[in-house]
Chains A and B, each alone.
Chain A
């Protein structure tokens, strides 16, 4: 039973690990392969700061809220394990800032210690009159992806550095199930007008005195289009760009200025911070995550694709819940194949 995962970002690698953990002993013939044209540190996941935080509203998508919760609980459980530092996992507290009162988010009871900001705390952020404080988790892509890669390699999962041009290409090589975790480039494998880039740009600085994340919100300009500061273990990420439909992966000087001015206004001491890098990436945005099976007819064979893409700016936040759901879909595929393989009559 050959299962091929397309994509080696957080979604591809975590889905692969989840599947191997769940099925390798149940399905001895399971052969798991990962195909990607980009590996860490060159994936979209590597550019993300790594803060666990869903969008402000789940738009009634309860399924995604549950996947977010599963991910948070899973990571929280790993916090005290010896692997935590290697995974790039640690606790972090911080602020979400608004210019007007807003309803509490769907994730208020998932994170730790969620509360409104006190007037004295708001004094720190002139121009913002309302906000939240909570303790959440950081999962740094630049550490998590190598960690996942090591776990997969130890388990005998094979990696192939190539750009897969079509699902057929893999099926014709004898792959039984394809897991499509190709993120923003899923459209190259199967057109999906709902999948659009949410372009982001970030500046990496050295500001080790910053110990909190600070995310501002401008309800008119939309999510992540307002300054944010997220301290990591090696550098601090300054951001605040979300451009829907923009495929340009080059850094923009205009966006640089917007990020720099916005963040320095938020934290004046950042003016003294040393810039150590800049990066642009395309969030794989979609009205909802595409996580479903698709049966593809190839001649007289039925091939199975499990789609797991379109996680926008919350891929790290939702990854494990989606990996588990993808594993469940594979489970039902395996179940069906076993039933087909069992000759009729032997069930009497």
Chain B
């Protein structure tokens, strides 16, 4: 197999970063990205892209930590380079605050982000309803810039990208040797994964350039994340809700909650409302499955179900998926050389 043909389905942060990792680990591969949506219309474009991990209940912590560390290290280097602004990667400092002291005062990622420490009494005075807090510096991936930058890097490697709605992974078996499934919430329909469910998130993107610090309530529901041009105000976590239509009552509620943490947001301008469906699962599905029909095999590497933590672990899971693709290629080359005997 001189040039394995790999199709990556999905062009959100997971699809694009996985495709890029595959071109890095397997330069002889011909990689094609297929997706019905590209930036700025993916779920990733709605997200703020903050590197603050979500904890997956069924994934061992050391594995999640490894994914986060790889992702943080990768983005840290970009943020420090001349490409930072084009890639949309920047450092941001701020606070995570809790109304009651959390069980775990030191999350697993506290030694990966920068300067993690508890908030001082004086800092907490700013938030009379909150009793405990953590201060740290982390990274933010602004979308669309980050996705567009990934697309640019992919094009430079010769990767083709096509708008195409894949209704069934098997339809790709004649054109491609390996399929990588990065369809996020789309996997529910595409592969019938009943363990995958949406967690609807509504956010506001507002113009408030004086907001330089992030503030996040530890409950994950209220947050203020300053991006390059707009500040993302959030949010909601509505389990099992599929609606992509903004809800006006929710908009008002998000705005009020954020203003109670940062009153100056009352002066925010150009408020836009966005909705995304976090592709949630008890654990990320990162595994190989070999589809088989009439003696023909199609290896599929799944990489979806990142829920609220896609940006935080994207590079780590992309590398693991690329490794799984490598294994598939070896297996295919092994069986093809056997076939030649």
Contact = CB atoms under 8 A, between A and B. Distances in A.
Interface of A: 79-82, 84-86, 88, 90-93, 112-113, 115, 117-118, 120-121, 123-124, 133, 135, 138, 207-212, 231, 233-234, 268-269, 271-273
Contacts of A86: 267
B264 A211 contact: no
B80 interface: yes
B84 A268 contact: yes
Given A113-B119, A113-B135, A80 B82 contact: no
A209 B89 CA distance: 8
A121 B137 contact: yes
Given A93-B93, A121-B115, A211-B90, A79 B209 contact: no
Contact of A211 (B85, B92, B114, B119): B92
14 contacts: A84-B264, A90-B210, A92-B212, A92-B213, A121-B114, A123-B80, A133-B137, A135-B135, A208-B229, A211-B226, A212-B212, A234-B209, A268-B80, A272-B85
B273 interface: no
Contacts of B148: none
A143 B226 CA distance: 21
A86 B211 CA distance: 13
Contacts of B264: 79, 84-85, 90
Task: Pick the 9 closest A-B CB pairs, nearest first.
Answer: A269-B84, A268-B82, A233-B210, A209-B90, A93-B93, A90-B210, A85-B267, A269-B85, A85-B264
A208 B115 contact: no
Given A113-B135, A269-B84, A233 B209 contact: yes
B209 A209 contact: no
B323 interface: no
A209 B228 contact: yes
A320 B117 CA distance: 31
State which size class the interface on B falls in: 35 or more
B126 interface: yes
A135 B80 contact: no
B93 A211 contact: yes
Interface string B268-299: 00000000000000000000000000000000
A268 B87 CA distance: 13
B144 to A, nearest CB: 14
Contacts of B135: 113, 135
Contacts of A123: 80
A19 to B, nearest CB: 28
B86 interface: yes
B212 A90 contact: yes
A117 B91 CA distance: 15
Interface string B178-210: 000000000000000000000000000000011
